[in-house]
Chain A
Amino acid sequence: GAVVSQHPSRVICKSGTSVKIECRSLDFQATTMFWYRQFPKKSLMLMATSNEGSKATYEQGVEKDKFLINHASLTLSTLTVTSAHPEDSSFYICSARAGQGGSRTEAFFGQGTRLTVV
């Protein structure tokens, strides 16, 4: 199957700093990428959907100025957590969907990024 690579897998940062997480589709073009947040022992919550070259669409309750999403190319989307605070500590997972035909019937997930803000 298609591969989505997420980097870094773990990051620890100081409160007040910003952290960037990358999500790359390695062997297909991802017209749409999704960013999820997973709280401990909870399900995944969709944060935002981004289409290549367009502004991301954020879910209700997600601060777009805090969680900056850029989808500048068909293989790369980034999530930047700005002015991070301990409550932003979480597991973030990206997902990428190819754009055409039967490939649209599946999205592929990255391995996730564990963010710890101290």
Chain B
Amino acid sequence: GDSVTQMEGPVTLSEEAFLTINCTYTATGYPSLFWYVQYPGEGLQLLLKATKADDKGSNKGFEATYRKETTSFHLEKGSVQVSDSAVYFCALWQNFNKFYFGSGTKLNVKP
């Protein structure tokens, strides 16, 4: 069945460090891929998305490229800030019907 696997956290970085959070997926067909961010005590906010192979989603300095050949959608940011500390979820949406979420990766950014 469809599934998403993302790297376990927590990930702890110093401010201005480079961030990569790995995400791979298993799916039939051509799902859309998403990264969501969750701040403490809040719901999910869409960070970026890609709807087809080779698309690059980007927002607030974050980027992820839909790689069908490696079934990956890794999240990257060149210089993280303390305000980026949150939990990040990779997700795939199959047939606009059902989301499959990864387990979430907690990011801690230290000043």
| Real binding pair | yes
Cα A79 to Cα B44 in complex, Å, equals 18
Query: In the complex, which range does the number of interface residues on chain A fall in?
Result: 20 to 34
Does A109 lie within 8 Å of B96, measured CB to CB? no
Chain A residues positioned under 8 Å from B99 (CB to CB): 34, 44, 46, 95, 107
- Which of A1, A32, A46, A109 is in CB contact (< 8 Å) with B43? A109
Q: Report whether A43 and B96 are in contact in the complex, using a CB–CB cutoff of 8 Å.
A: no
Contacts of B49 in A (CB 8 A): 106
A110 touches B98 (CB 8 A): no
**B62 interface contact, C-beta 8 A:** no
B49 to chain A, nearest CB (A): 7
Hey, what's the 0/1 contact readout for B34-56 against A, CB within 8 Å counting as 1? Answer: 00100001111110010100000
Interface residue tally on B, bucketed by range: 20 to 34
Is the C-beta of B97 less than 8 angstroms from some C-beta in chain A?
yes
Find out whether the CB atom of A112 lies under 8 angstroms from the CB atom of B98: no
Interface residues of B (CB under 8 A from A): 32, 36, 41-46, 49, 51, 89, 93, 96-99, 101-104
Q: List 22 A-B contacts (CB under 8 A).
A: A42-B104, A43-B101, A43-B103, A44-B89, A46-B98, A49-B97, A93-B43, A93-B44, A95-B99, A104-B96, A105-B51, A107-B99, A108-B46, A109-B36, A109-B43, A109-B44, A109-B45, A109-B46, A111-B42, A112-B41, A112-B43, A112-B44
